[in-house]
Amino acid sequence: MSMQTVSTLWALMRRELWENQGTLKWAPLIIAVITLFFIVMSLVIGARFDAELAFTLDAIREFAGQPADQRRLFMTGALFATSAMFFQFLILLVLFYLSGSLYEDRKDRSILFWKSLPVSDQMTVVSKLLTACLLAPALYLGAAIITQLVILIIATGYGAAAGINPFTTFWLPASLPKLWLVLGSGLVVQAMWLLPIYAWVMFCSAWAPRVPILIAIAIPLAVSLLQHAWTLVSGFRLPEFNLGLIMLKRLGSGLVPTNVNAQIDSTAHRADLTDIQFSEELYMNFSTVFGHLLKVEMWIGIAIALVLLAGAVWFRRRATDN
């Protein structure tokens, strides 16, 4: 890939950021503010029931005396959990962004202007996909990192009041470089895992006459219902292959932050959680993230995505024929 191509893609991605500031820029900041608001409010309310913070400071001193592994488990787990809201909203908002990525240009006829520029339809589609897969996750990750740093600063203040060393108690066990690398790499692999879903939404956005997101949902839903109806009528059984359930399973098995794969015996009546040994490796584990690259489903999904993206380019190229 030449530097000119990279420069063009970056310029197109900046255009996407400028045109979708609410989804890409302000939404993660609003999520950060809401998260910190509830944390601060919980501390304020807790202080109302804890005279002179006696109980809170004693708990912090007891926490500082815990083994290093326990402190690291708690700190990394707590900071990892704060990213949950960011990345759940990320997937949802990216789907809405992609549903309008190729539709809005056709709707307001600005496609005539953009197609007059020396930028190919392939480049336009790729830039929008890269915005969803790389730029948006980077912005949401940045907001999550800022939130985690503010939380650590608040914890530092409480630690100083308790007379303990905040660095060895909070900052060092947080393992921030590894935490951020796990989150960042997880977001990249997650984008690859969700690529067929993203490509399907873009494909619908390229040709749908209106409301692409509803069409992207309605078609798999209709196919799923027909599959159920056919198998029930023909063999009085549930279908072994159901398009809608496959898409929901892929969409619901994102890597970040819920990249913990629990194996539960299907014959058991309940899960015995007492047998699960919780450790930092449950979520701070690169093999869990990159292990998805070895799954056949990953590469089948990418192959399907390439076909759908080719279809999106084809419809984009013919959007102004009529």
Q: Token pair 């947080």 is at which residue?
A: 174
Convert the pLDDT of each residue in 101-157 to its tens digit: 999 988 888 888 888 888 889 999 999 999 999 999 999 999 999 999 999 999 999
Rg (CA), the chain: 24
pLDDT band of 282, cuts 50, 70, 90: low
pLDDT, residue 260, reads 42
Query: Would the pLDDT of 296 be above 70?
Result: yes
Angle at which helix 195-207 crosses helix 296-317, to 10 degrees, equals 20
Whole-number Å distance between alpha carbons of 224 and 266: 24
Q: Show me where the domains of the chain are located.
A: 3-260+278-317
Taking CA atoms, 9 is separated from 22, 190, 225, 227, in Å, by 21, 21, 40, 41
Cβ 196 vs Cβ 302: under 8 Å: yes
pLDDT, residue 270, reads 42
Whole-number Å distance between alpha carbons of 239 and 52: 62
pLDDT, residue 318, reads 87
Query: Would the pLDDT of 253 be above 80?
Result: no
Q: Token pair 């950060």 is at which residue?
A: 32
pLDDT band of 254, cuts 50, 70, 90: low
Query: Would the pLDDT of 286 be above 80?
Result: no
pLDDT, residue 294, reads 86
Query: Would the pLDDT of 82 be above 80?
Result: yes
Amino acid at 312: A
Cβ 205 vs Cβ 312: under 8 Å: yes
pLDDT, residue 291, reads 80
pLDDT, residue 244, reads 80
Q: Give the closest residue to 198 by CA, choosing from 118, 119, 287, 90.
A: 90
